[in-house]
Amino acid sequence: MEVTSAVHSVGFLPERLNTRPCFLSTRPNYKVPLPCTYNGGCSKRTCSVVINSTSATSIATSAAAAEGSLSEVERIKQKCLTWQWKDQYSINYFVSSDAHDSSHPSLLLVHGFGASIPHWRRNIKTLAQNYTVYAIDLLGFGASDKPAGFQYTMETWAELILDFLNEVIQKPTVLIGNSVGSLACLIAASDSSQTLVRGIVLLNCAGGMNNKAIVDDWRIKLLLPLLWLFDFLLKQKGIASAIFERVKLRENLRNILSSVYGNKESVDEELVEIIREPANDEGALDAFVSIVTGPPGPNPVQLMPKINSPALLLWGDQDPFTPIDGPVGKYFSSLPSQQENVKLFLLEGVGHCPHDDRPDLVHEKLLPWLASLSNS
């Protein structure tokens, strides 16, 4: 039976977009993918509606136009999926849908402290031109679960990454991380039992889950008593809540981000919202306290000698968190002369988050390095 009106045929479609795909079809096995717009979400991964070809063309065109009007962050969010880790925790992730040469490794992007998948807003489109790109929200961040009372560790995040490789990606992959995300990737890649890490890219790798790991830095030594005091205060629920509420105020977040970015123009309202929105989730305060006060985890000095796969180090020279002249920065700077598999590029005028701060400089070094992996 011909359906004469696409609007009536899909009468349940409201205004708000959901992330799951909906398919419109005029005959068996012929489907046109569209964003599912049912507020309650589809009960299945896909749904289908039989309509005539004219209606299908009209709706597909409208959907394409709607997607074209979305910001990159909105587009990324719309395409995110959920993976159940250990049948207990919901983990938010993104995957680019373009098919590429199977000889190319996949890429897995892992964000840093306080960030999430959209922090790769200026990288995914470029990388997805030649690679299948995955990005993940670590447990406790972004749209992933933030379980109450959970004790976060670097080892937990590394285990999550390895399980994601084995259960979801299931092919050789280059791990690309920023800050604590870099350290989590490094821990995962150093696991002697893993078989899927094709290479690692570390963007201003952290020395630990928090600054207490970097005790060799005179700057940290001076601040260590204050860090201990801060830990004590954060373990008082009322004080921790007051501090957290103040930190996540828009103006305060903007000031913090401006202090760690070299290119101040990259600190826009969209970036502030990328950090601020997940901080309002239930469990975000517990995650913040656990991460800041918890054990720093394995040190890169212990881990890098275990890495035999190719490693690319991209380091912003204006990073106040892990400065190139600090213990962690100096150690990584020395590696290219000690390990043939390691390459290091210093990015001038760039802060702690090079991929979002100056994506052009990152892509300039990253893309040829990735191409060399595919050709080797």
Query: What is the model's pLDDT at position 221?
Result: 54
Q: In this predicted structure, what is the pLDDT of residue 58?
A: 53
Express each pLDDT in 31-61 by its tens digit. Answer: 444 444 333 444 334 444 444 445 544 544 5
At residue 14, the pLDDT reads 37
What's the pLDDT at 9?
30
What pLDDT was estimated at residue 168?
97
What local confidence, expressed as pLDDT, does residue 324 receive? 94
Global pTM reads 0.80
The owner of tokens 């881990």 is 303
Q: What is the pLDDT of residue 67?
A: 57
Report residues of the chain scoring pLDDT below 50.
1-53, 56-57, 59-60, 215
| Residue 216 pLDDT | 56
CB proximity list for 199: less than 8 A, separation 6 or greater: 105, 174, 175, 309, 310, 311, 312, 373
**3-state per-residue secondary structure call for the chain:** CCCCCHHHHCCCCCCCCCCCEEEEEEECCEEEEEECCCCCCCCCCCCEEECCHHHHHHHHHHHHHHHHCCCHHHHHHHCCEEEEECCCEEEEEEECCCCCCCCCCEEEEECCCCCCHHHHCCCHHHHCCCCCEEEECCCCCCCCCCCCCCCCCHHHHHHHHHHHHHHHHCCCEEEEEECHHHHHHHHHHCCCCCCCEEEEEEECCCCCCCHHHCCCCHHHHHHHHHHHHHHHHHCCHHHHHHHHHHHCCHHHHHHHHHHHCCCHHHCCHHHHHHHHHHHCCCCHHHHHHHHHHCCCCCCHHHHHHHCCCCEEEEEECCCCCCCCCCHHHHHHHHHHHCCCCEEEEEECCCCCCHHHHCHHHHHHHHHHHHHHHHHC
